[in-house]
Amino acid sequence: MSGADASARAGDGPAGASGAAGAGTSAPAASDPAGVPTMFDVARHAGVSHQTVSRVLNDLPGVAAATRVRVREAIAELSYTPSPTARAMARRRSGSIGLIQAGRPDYGPSSAALGFNEAARDAGYTVSQASMRTLDADVLREAVHRLVLQRVEAIVLISGEREGIDVLRGIDAGVPVVAVASEVEPGLHRVSFDQAAGARLATEHLIALGHRRIAHVAGPADSMDAAERRRGVAAALADHGLEVREPIAGDWLAASGHAAGRRLLADGWASAVVVGNDQMSLGLLHACHEAGVSVPGDLSVVGFDDIPEAAYFTPALTTVRQDFDSLGRDIMATVADVLRDEAAAPDRTSRVPELVVRESTAPPRPIPLVRESAGAPRA
């Protein structure tokens, strides 16, 4: 993917917010091939986050005196020389926050970005926004670099892929970074739903209905949310002594849910399935319709996200609702906390999704009794 694939547009803040993803400017490097120390080396040496190192370098508040001393000692011991451009930008308040969206413009990320933009506007900030349809490490570095040049006070990343976090970890941005990330990432300010808890709700619902053979159609392997949902499904099944089968992997799109549904029906084992998102659930429901399999009579289906169309699927989809508008506002609240006092800023990762029960789930059909043949001995 080239830099031309990253579209830059103004956010939903007040007039004046500008795009961020440009081309032709070199991006900040993760480390120097000659072994020159970076801000991340200083952070590891001092036992703090790289954002704390940035605050010390720029004489910003929110860092304890003893921590400042430790960071400055690490800087001296490593002979670290900070980027003058990043320092100059970080010292100047711009009233602007950078937002990077990496990945398809699906309902969840787009809704969270909208909620963040609205919360930022309410707080008096403009938003400079960069978007890329697929996560590309070079384009992401370029977007961060362009946002820093625009003097943003912080950068937000909305992308569920681990690679985005890996890229951020290696960039000496000079400003705080907040990411939507459902997996633990030391040294990074995180906001997320408790994805494992949401998946557990879905699985426990099916177990309470009487299902004992529950399959899982998961999202892609590089997705943090998909991994957490897999963990939640497996934990709920294990807690009830039920078989935990390897999930069928999809890619969040309806076509992959359709393919997963055909595999599931050909196997014939499951009486219920937890699907990684509503789009894949739609494809799976279509596979059931094609095969003449009744939902929920023959197979109960639970989705995830509660997209606006979920209530109008046939049958209406039982799903796990995520309040993406609130997620966006949590992102802005975390940014505000970080800018106010980074050392005391809490992560916001405990919001639990809500189970919405509709028509696609029901108790399993009773297994018909086998009539004894004439003359067969009784048990």
- Summarised one tens digit per residue, pLDDT across range 159-168 is 888 888 888 8
Q: Quick one: pLDDT band at residue 58, thresholds 50, 70, 90? A: confident
Burial of 46 (0-12, 13-18, 19+ CB in 10 A): buried
Residues 97-145 have pLDDT tens digits of 999 998 877 889 999 999 999 999 999 999 999 988 888 888 888 999 8
Which residue type occupies 63? Answer: V
pLDDT for 87: 55
Q: What are phi and psi of 190, to 5 degrees?
A: -120, 150
Please indicate whether residue 194 or residue 10 has the higher confidence score (pLDDT): 194
Q: Does position 2 have pLDDT exceeding 60, yes or no?
A: no
How far is the C-alpha of 14 from the C-alpha of 29, rounded, in Å? Answer: 32
Helix (H) or strand (E) holding 301: strand 300-302
203 is written with which tokens? Answer: 């699985």
pLDDT for 93: 64
The percentage of the chain sitting over the pLDDT mark of 90, rounded to a whole number, equals 55
The conformational region for residue 210 under phi > 0 = left, psi -120 to 50 = alpha, else beta, is left
N-terminal to C-terminal alpha carbon distance within the chain: 68
pLDDT for 99: 96
Q: Do 137 and 110 touch, CB atoms closer than 8 A? A: no
Residues 223-277 have pLDDT tens digits of 999 999 999 999 999 999 999 999 999 999 999 999 999 999 999 999 999 999 9
pLDDT for 24: 35
Q: 126 pairs with which residues across the strands?
A: 96
Mean pLDDT of the chain: 84
Q: Which residue bears the tokens 């910003």?
A: 60
Q: Do 303 and 309 touch, CB atoms closer than 8 A? A: no
Q: Which residue bears the tokens 């413009």?
A: 105
pLDDT for 210: 98
Helix, strand, coil % in the chain, rounded to nearest 5: 45, 15, 40
Which class in CATH covers the domain with range 195-322?
alpha beta
The H-assigned helical ranges of the chain are: 39-46, 50-57, 65-78, 84-91, 107-122, 137-149, 162-169, 195-209, 224-239, 254-267, 278-291, 324-340
For residue 6, count other CB atoms closer than 10 A to its CB: 26
For residue 277, count other CB atoms closer than 10 A to its CB: 30
Domain ranges in the chain with CATH number 3.40.50.2300: 96-194+324-352, 195-322
Indicate the fold that domain 96-194+324-352 takes in CATH. Answer: Rossmann fold (3.40.50)
Q: Do 135 and 77 touch, CB atoms closer than 8 A? A: no
**Domain formed by 26-82, architecture:** Orthogonal Bundle (1.10)
pTM exceeds cut of 0.85: no
